[in-house]
Structure 1
Amino acid sequence: MAVSRHHTAHVCIATFLTAFLLHCSRADVATAAPGTDALPHRRFEYKYSFKGPHLSQSDGSIPFWIHTGNAIPSSDQVRITPSLRSQRGSVWTKNKVSFQSWEAEVTFRVSGRGRMGADGLAIWFTTDQGLDGPVYGAADKWNGVGIFFDSFDNDGKVCVCASE
């Protein structure tokens, strides 16, 4: 990974075909005494998290988040795209991260009716909210970190298999 790629203050989850839940918590390292094996204090940060039930509001919005492209929020999940070709979607937090230490726990499910599937999905931590683009639904230049789950065999040399 190139250092110039991105160090972010926004968290994004972008993909072509997935549904997922995100849980983010703050790890307060100051509460652990130096030289001890004590774990840091963790606190659920609701402004950086979403989970069902009652995830989306009646107007389709998600509190503290924006969704773009073909993303479809529901009461218990966000479907990043419908099971159709050439779809893009993303979900970005509206809040910049101000924590010194943090951790993210992500659960996602990739599903669809066809065998072709999508290109994959990415989890982003960037200085700025992402723009729509060709890299798993986001721009091809960013400052921060992207974690990519590639699910398509672009050159036909690798078997990308999945089962229920």
Structure 2
Amino acid sequence: MAAVNSSKLCCSESRLNVMFRWNRMIFKLYFMFTFLLLFVSLCFSDDDHEMEEFLKREFSLSKPYQGVGSLGSSHWELMGDAMVTTDQVRLTPDMQSRQGAVWSRIPCQLKDWEMQVHFKVHGQGKKNLNGDGLAIWYTKERMQKGPVFGNMDNFTGLGVFVDTYPNEEKHIERIFPYVITMVGNGTISYDHERDGRPTELGGCNAMVRNLKHDTFLFIRYVRRRLTVMIDIDGQHEWRDCLDIPGVRLPLGYYFGASAITGDLSDNHDIISLKLYQLTVLRSKKEEEEEEQDAITIPSVDNMELLRLYQSEEGMSGLAIFFTVLFSMLGCIFLIVIGIVVYSQWNERRRKRFY
């Protein structure tokens, strides 16, 4: 009887041990899964999960464009050949030698913002017989006529250009229309002859002319990171165009849009400009660092590295061909040398056994 009780006791103890080990293993797996989930969420989280956006009507322009251009009755002011219709603000008509603009009257004091631009470029000119393009601005200056898509040269701030005509003869690797982004500090000139290449931050192809569907441009500035995207395919999907960290833009600048025509022309229309304030979560340390490092002049960190990357990226097709060719020849040469060295070493190794 004692033996039976002893066996039952041992059996129950073994069951308890198994259950204890099983529960401990489940707890460990649960803990590891929770930790892994938290780690992945932290790694893959971006600003979209930390932001709330609010439409700022005082910096937005949309139908029915009530009072636009009228003194004191609107937040927006027209300049040059720009005019308001029921469907759009037309910056330039499809006529030669015109320029026009629309500018916000209120300086923007937002740290983080997002601008969504609904625009249209269309005209009678055939391919490569149209021009010149439009620009979206966030600059210190406003209401200044000039040669840079209808605005002044040597501007201070941000310009995003939809360039529809290639001035540079050698533009084999670039298809126009093309979206270009530039940050100016008041002393940097836009190079028309080279389509702004020496001072651009980057850009992308954007076939926006004479499309039947809507075309959009997206500009976001968050934590000194500038992102530009486009939606021009009628699919209601944003396509990446530019993403650059370390862009420093001061507060208190003005939003605007401008366009220009020369010997060639197009209708350049703004259908809406919608500015959203982005509320971004920041730690106290980040806030203190931003307060200590107040921005007074627009600039871009590591601009020299960016230009070096662009020069490498912008090599001609012939240069790329020879680079690939010599790289392949170099690899073949190294492989041949390796085979010869290995065969000699293997031969000497075999001779040691005779």
- Tell me the TM-score normalized by structure 1: 0.68
Alignment-mate amino acid for residue 151 of structure 2:
A
- Counterpart position of 1:107: 118
Go from structure 1 to structure 2 and tell me whether the alpha carbon gap of 1:56 and 1:118 turns closer, same or farther (over 3 Å shift).
Answer: farther
C-alpha distance in 1 between matches for 2:134 and 2:170: 20
1:124 and 2:134 matched: no
Deviation of residue 63 (structure 1)?
1.9
Residue number in structure 2 paired with 1:138 = 151
What do the CA deviations read for 1:21-71 (whole angstroms, capped 9, x no partner)?
Answer: xxxxxxxxxxxxxx786331211111100111x2143x8648200111111
Structure 1 residues 1-34: Cα deviation after superposition (integer angstroms, max 9, x where no partner): xxxxxxxxxxxxxxxxxxxxxxxxxxxxxxxxxx
Report matched runs for 1:57-72 at 5 Å.
Answer: 57=67, 61=70, 63-72=74-83
Corresponding residue to 2:92 among 76, 81, 88: 81
* Corresponding letter in the other structure for 2:138: F
Aligned to 1:13: none
Which ranges in structure 2 are unaligned for 5 or more consecutive residues?
1-41, 177-206, 212-354
> How far apart in 2 are the matches of 1:114 and 1:56?
32
Say which structure is richer in helix. Answer: 2
Identity in percent = 33
Q: Against the structure 1 CA distance between its residues 60 and 146, is the aligned structure 2 distance closer, same or farther, given a 3 Å change threshold?
A: closer
Amino acid at match of 1:103: E
Q: What displacement does 1:76 show?
A: 3.0
Deviations 1:80-109 (A, max 9, x none): 111101110111100000111111111111
Q: Which amino acid aligns with 1:108?
A: F
Bigger-Rg structure (1/2) = 2
Q: Separation in 2 of the partners of 1:94 and 1:60?
A: 10
**CA drift at 1:146:** 0.7
Q: What is the CA-CA distance between 1:117 and the residue it aligns to?
A: 1.7
| Residues 130-139 or 150-159, more deviating | 150-159
User: Aligned match of 1:92 in 103, 118, 131?
Assistant: 103
Distance in structure 2 (CA, Å) of the matches to 1:55 and 1:163: 24
Question: Relative to structure 1, is the Cα distance of residues 104 and 129 closer, same or farther in structure 2, using a 3 angstrom cutoff?
Answer: same
Structure 1, residues 91-144: CA drift from partner, whole Å, max 9, x if none? Answer: 110000011111111111101122322111111111221410000000001111
Counterpart of 1:55? 65
Letter in 2 for 1:147: V
Partner residue, 1:30: none
Q: Give the TM-score normalised by structure 2.
A: 0.33
SS of equivalent residue, structure 1 residue 117:
coil
Higher relative contact order (CA 8 A, sep 6+): 1
Read off the aligned partner of 2:65 and give its amino acid letter: L
Amino acid paired to 1:98: Q
